[in-house]
């Protein structure tokens, strides 16, 4: 397992473009994948066949309304998960940044990025005919990002307390 704090100290001292690519590249790629997923490709009508059919096969007596509810819950879990990953990648980038503000305020900056990206994603979806904008989705996205950031913060607090002398 990589010691992120040691890596952060090394990266901060050497702000090369290769380090920046390693730091911000995955974050940018993931944000692009979220943007692509916000097109009609992952609209509910397109995900239903490959999500609902296996559930229907596993539970042949399930009503259509139950199947649609499960489909909706899977899609909302996807929102939560994709923004948890976005938050984790943002935290990874900002915690190892050579920019002092990003490095010191990684939690807040990552959370702001997640919320703003979620809002812009829903705005983008408002222009896609097979999609719709939803503030509920923004809330779910933000909760996913916040949960990931809290897990990281608590994990880091535990790691630091174990390293400090007693």
Domain residue extents for the chain: 4-160
Q: Indicate the SS3 state at residue 129.
A: coil
Q: Is the pTM of this model over 0.75?
A: yes
Query: Considering the chain, what is the average pLDDT of its residues?
Result: 84
CA–chain centroid gap for 120, Å, is 14
pLDDT digits (tens, 9 = 90+) for 54-103: 888 888 898 989 888 888 898 899 999 999 999 999 999 999 888 899 99
Residue 66 has a CB neighbour count (10 Å cut-off) of: 13
Q: Are 117 and 34 in contact (CB under 8 A)?
A: yes
Range 55-62, long-range pairs (CB < 8 A, 24+ positions): none
pLDDT digits (tens, 9 = 90+) for 19-68: 888 889 999 999 999 998 887 666 656 666 677 788 888 888 989 898 88
Give me 127's structure tokens: 């222009």
Dihedral angle, C-alpha 45, 50, 52, 55, nearest 10 °: -170
Q: Is the pLDDT of residue 149 over 80?
A: yes
DSSP result, 8-75: HHHHHH---HHHHHHHHHHHHHHHHHHHHHTTGGG-HHHHHHHHHHHHHHH-TT--HHHHHHHHHHHH
Instruction: Report percent pLDDT > 90 for the chain.
Output: 44
Helices 64-95, 44-58: axis angle to 10 degrees equals: 120
**Least reliable range by pLDDT among 1-5, 22-26, 116-120:** 1-5
Encode 6-33: b = buried (16+ Cβ within 10 Å), e = exposed.
Answer: ebbeebbeeeeeebeeebbebbeebbee
């Amino acid at each position: 397992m990589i010691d992120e704090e040691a890596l952060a100290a090394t990266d901060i001292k050497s702000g090369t473009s290769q380090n920046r690519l390693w730091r911000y590249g995955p974050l940018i790629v993931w944000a692009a994948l979220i943007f692509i997923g916000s097109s009609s490709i992952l609209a509910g009508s397109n995900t239903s066949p490959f999500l609902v059919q296996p559930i229907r096969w596993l539970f042949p007596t399930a009503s259509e309304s139950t199947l649609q509810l499960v489909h909706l819950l899977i899609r909302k879990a996807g929102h939560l998960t994709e923004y948890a990953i976005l938050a984790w990648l943002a935290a990874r980038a900002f915690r190892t940044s050579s920019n002092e503000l990003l490095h010191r305020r990684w939690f807040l900056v990552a959370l702001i990025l997640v919320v703003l990206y979620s809002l812009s994603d829903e705005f983008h979806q408002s222009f896609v005919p097979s999609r719709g904008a939803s503030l509920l989705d923004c809330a779910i996205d933000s909760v996913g990002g916040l949960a990931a950031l809290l897990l990281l913060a608590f994990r880091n607090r535990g790691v630091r307390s174990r390293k400090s002398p007693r």
